[in-house]
A and B are shown apart, each in its own frame.
Chain A
């Protein structure tokens, strides 16, 4: 029902893909989709509004990144802003100079405080700390009992002088717990408190009293990642009412997009410290702002892809390549360079699968044989530098040597040389103006297979559809045949011998 953001953006930019630059109208169209995506991810409306305004300003001012299409460019800005609000880098909990370190947990009912207390205790214990759990939730029936069971299963003692179920004073329990911890030299005290509503004055006052009594080093606000727009109110209430030092997101193993994380981080300005990701007591990890940003945008791995493409694509190299093409000195070495650039981007299958809209192509992607690249590379590596620069000198005995050196057959070597010659010829034609707009534009280079271009990718996938022969010689022949079959498809990526 909610098409995912990347697919929708692709749709929005269907007609703009060839354009290098973004107009204000393009940006607004993208931002409308992003606004919707953020709201559907439960980011609070006021946070969305501020956020979109900030992104718009940057997008208008930003220079066009050549490796990306316009939609991706805006999304990348969005991602950077998201990561920044979500805390930039990871934050660790601060330990007291003089133990015990006191960590107090607070939050709404059902946010997962008690379970989290158990997980936190286990995590600290695994790090060599000696934690103790304190049962200050005397409200919910058997919360104390639950904490005891959790303590037992992680091997951490539980301080629980009161049975709970509505009787006993949590402030007194908290005070006594600190004394007890000092006496028995526990290094960390984890105080579990009752769930409370932000508007419940009485219970908020009680939480403040617990805070005063224990002087915690950390007050962690525990919040369910499924929470909706109310996250802002709740976060404000806890920040104003109790004062928090950090946030813990729970139930991240669900499929909620978790926009609340953004709301809470924005409203309180406090870092998200931990993420709780499952029912087992190990399902607990430090919070990764970048992963959360992708999750909120439902962008899958597109951002990883953008990053990879940017890293591995070297603009200078591309310019050089374009010049070489124009001057007709494209060699097997360059051929291999291109291939290595492509390899840097990771598995081709994975890369294509990460592309927005690639879902439809998935079955076809399975037919790609990535080994083909390795084989080609092996053949080229078995050549001498001289041979790579000037394939024309490859006579029969050289070819036999190369075949033996690379573990391939002479037929394979022949077909590679044929493919190279055809590719070089084709690229030369293109570079000389056969296809306008190619030089300097990375998408245009056949070897790059169009990392930034949906159109190229589709064609490429189509070209790969044909079944492969089991016979290596025949297969090589088929591969060699491809470029001539599709001479008009410069984006077919056939220069690699990838079918």
Chain B
């Protein structure tokens, strides 16, 4: 089986004053299509760094990040932007919607960047917003929505382009437990029914309980990689 994402001997070192911090230290793993996986570990363990490297948001010190057969570490900034636009969806901890855009416009933004025909884009966005339970809220701006609703828009924005993988960095950290459960229900449904591949970074027990695969990260290394029995 060809993995969607493959990390080979991945290192990411930061210089902090005179000290070299090994945020990612020789990590090798593969994320398969349809995975609903969580990178777990305490703060500073390196899970967000791994997510950033997979997303092409940061450059590797050494090793390879291979997304659908393309080595991201060999790409230039512009090429990485193309990959992010077309093949990766992001869900951030603090929703991070563009505040001057409505829910619809936020969800449609990446499709606009891709140059998708407006009529096609409209149908796709409306369907996606319906899938995430935001029908009727299309014209609301982020400041007119609750945290949960904003995160649903962020999920809609991440999946509307049908990316190879959705990288979700602590997606439930800023919402209450009830909202967290409903967001996880949503992502689980998208994974089950539409085959969307999710990779979370989290230390939230709700997420870990729902994930089908738990990858424990400690001191920048993979401590364990467990596939839960369904």
Q: Do A and B bind each other?
A: no
